[in-house]
Amino acid sequence: MPITQYLERNSREYPNDVCLVEINPEIKENRRVTWKEYELIEPNTKESYRREITWRVFDEKANRFANLLLQRGIKKGDKVAILMMNGLEWLPIYFGILKTGALAVPLNFRYSSDEILYCVQLAEVDVLVFGPSFIGRVEEIADEISKGRLLIYVGENCPSFADDYNSLSANCSSQAPCIGITDDDDAAIYFSSGTTGFPKAILHKHKALMHAAQVEANHHGQQKDDVFLCIPPLYHTGAKMHWFGSLVSGSKAVLLIGTKPEFILDAVSKEKCSIVWLLVPWAQDILEAIESGKVNLDDYELAQWRLMHIGAQPVPQSLIKHWKEIFPHHDYDTNYGLSESIGPGCVHLGVENIHKVGCIGKAGYGWQVKIVDENRNEVERGQVGELAVKGDGVMVCYYRDEKATKEVLGDGWLFTGDMAQEDEDGFILLVDRKKDVIISGGENLYPVQIEDFIRTNSKVHDVAVIGLAHARLGEIAAAIVELKEGETMTEEELDEYCLKLPRYKRPRKIIFADIPRNPTGKIEKPKLRQIYGATKLIADQNMG
């Protein structure tokens, strides 16, 4: 069945139970609110802000948006993109799209205007739904993007080039549309990429979304009285698929805007959160804030917090050891996954296996795994090979990219591009990644895009971008730059040049040196990693 049926069940069985809470500690008090279901609270500051909705309201808002899309001619199989920051509107809009039989297409909020346009065109998007943070970027491409597409704005002061979500949806029916949806219908397109430039479009069916929900509920055992704290962006499969556990159990979730340690601990305390998913930098910040005295644990009610799990990047063993010293009653877990496998859980450590931290675990609920050689034959236990996974969460294809699809799919298996080995107990250890993606603070950085930009500098002869290990972010982007003969440049000069890049793409370290290339002209990045100490020591890490 499609996951929309969980929402409809929750609306019937728990209509007045709060399902979503949005907390933005930094927002101004005088912000005008467009939703009726909100509450202003003042824990320690007059600028804390809180909104909430019930399961009934969630479902009604999803229905209103679905009916709005249907009125505008959207039909089963069309595509509707979401370009919004986290907030109470995000998930009802996502589910409203699914209820029409259209495909939801979440977009990374870090995308530049060019990337937004590229993804919209690649996914053949019919509607772009965007929020206030993206007015400028969408306006830059409005003339091009609006050709044959509907632009819907969610927020205050609707720009002239878009339609207003608030006024339009308010006049639509709150009854569910009668659209037949099956497990084999296409449901969503997510974006990912290797090192070849712009993202690839990943197509998933409804059965994949349902599989993700079942995996999450099985792995973390969410109950009706659990409260999940969700901090990462909802466009990411990891955040949303972990929230699916709350959907299955009919329990409350909290969307926290902000990652300061005091924000996280305050939300856990006041909302009685029992499950928290963190990225490595946030966990490290919490520990450092406790040790420095910036936060005092006695100021918070944390006894109900039962599970801390981390994903999206390598996790140092030392971090978990330190965490357990501070929070000895916490269960810890990690999940490995890719957008191509509908997010986290195809490989799963399990809270009972904390003694195996350093491994990513075993096959997750409903998944099969194997490790293969270059001919895709299984290797013997202990040998290094490529990790492959199989299950209902494997993507259909890279949308409109048959060549790339054939490179990673075969007989139902997804070949991840990650090198791994199985230990004597059957637990999988990641050894290295075949792809050159840099995972910094849970975000993927694509070296080719950074390299192409730096090469536009007239003094630059060649450039290679690699990931260097970083205690807080997992990895940072380092640019090895070879200048043209006779040219000189300082790190400060190149730093200033890179200000034209989005902040998250700017290299954190610059090294002036020669770039080695092999006889076929390819940059020898393994050699660069060896020279600059960037070899991944995954034995002390696991991937979430």
Q: Residue 138: CB partners within 8 Å, gap ≥ 6?
A: 83, 113, 116, 128, 130, 145, 151, 161, 162
- A 10 A CB-CB count for 431 gives 17
Q: Which amino acid is at 12?
A: R
The per-residue pLDDT for 184 is 97
The per-residue pLDDT for 261 is 95
Q: Residue 39: CB partners within 8 Å, gap ≥ 6?
A: 50, 51, 52
Please check whether the domain covering 4-258 is classified as CATH 3.40.50.12780. Answer: yes
For 459, the 3-state DSSP assignment is: coil
Q: Which amino acid is at 304?
A: Q
Q: How far is 526 from 535, CA to CA, in rounded Å? A: 8
Q: How far is 255 from 259, CA to CA, in rounded Å? A: 11
The per-residue pLDDT for 433 is 62
- C-beta of residue 183 within 8 angstroms of C-beta of residue 210: yes
Residue 336: both structure tokens together? 């490995």
For 164, the 3-state DSSP assignment is: strand
Residue 65: both structure tokens together? 């948006």
DSSP letter at 14?
A: S
The per-residue pLDDT for 534 is 52
| Angle between helical axes of 90-99 and 55-71 (0-180°, round to 10) | 50
The per-residue pLDDT for 452 is 79
The per-residue pLDDT for 313 is 62
The per-residue pLDDT for 507 is 94
Same fold, 330-433 and 438-540: no
The per-residue pLDDT for 279 is 85
Q: Please give the backbone phi and psi of residue 383, each rounded to the nearest 5 degrees, phi first.
A: -85, 150
**Positions of the chain with pLDDT lower than 70, given as ranges:** 28-48, 193-197, 312-314, 432-435, 518-522, 534-544
Which fold does the domain 330-433 belong to in CATH? Luciferase; domain 3 (2.30.38)
Q: Which amino acid is at 341?
A: S
The DSSP H or E segment spanning 478 is strand 474-483
Pairing between strand 127-130 and 150-153? Answer: parallel
Buried/exposed code over 136-159 (b: 16+ C-beta within 10 A; e: otherwise):
ebbeebbeebeeebbbbbbbeebb
- C-beta of residue 317 within 8 angstroms of C-beta of residue 390: no
The per-residue pLDDT for 451 is 85
The per-residue pLDDT for 130 is 98
The per-residue pLDDT for 48 is 57
Q: Please give the backbone phi and psi of residue 265, each rounded to the nearest 5 degrees, phi first.
A: -65, -35
| Angle between helical axes of 55-71 and 4-13 (0-180°, round to 10) | 130
Rg (CA), the chain: 23
Domain segments of the chain: what residues? 4-258, 330-433, 438-540
Q: Residue 451: CB partners within 8 Å, gap ≥ 6?
A: 463, 464, 465, 479
The per-residue pLDDT for 41 is 39
For 307, the 3-state DSSP assignment is: strand
The per-residue pLDDT for 211 is 98
Q: How far is 382 from 193, CA to CA, in rounded Å? A: 29
Q: How far is 364 from 120, CA to CA, in rounded Å? A: 33
Domain 438-540 CATH (choose: 3.90.1150.10, 3.40.50.410, 3.40.50.720, 3.30.300.30): 3.30.300.30
Whole-model pTM: value is: 0.82
For 150, the 3-state DSSP assignment is: strand
The DSSP H or E segment spanning 467 is strand 460-470
DSSP letter at 380?
A: P
Partners of residue 22 on adjacent β-strands = 51, 255
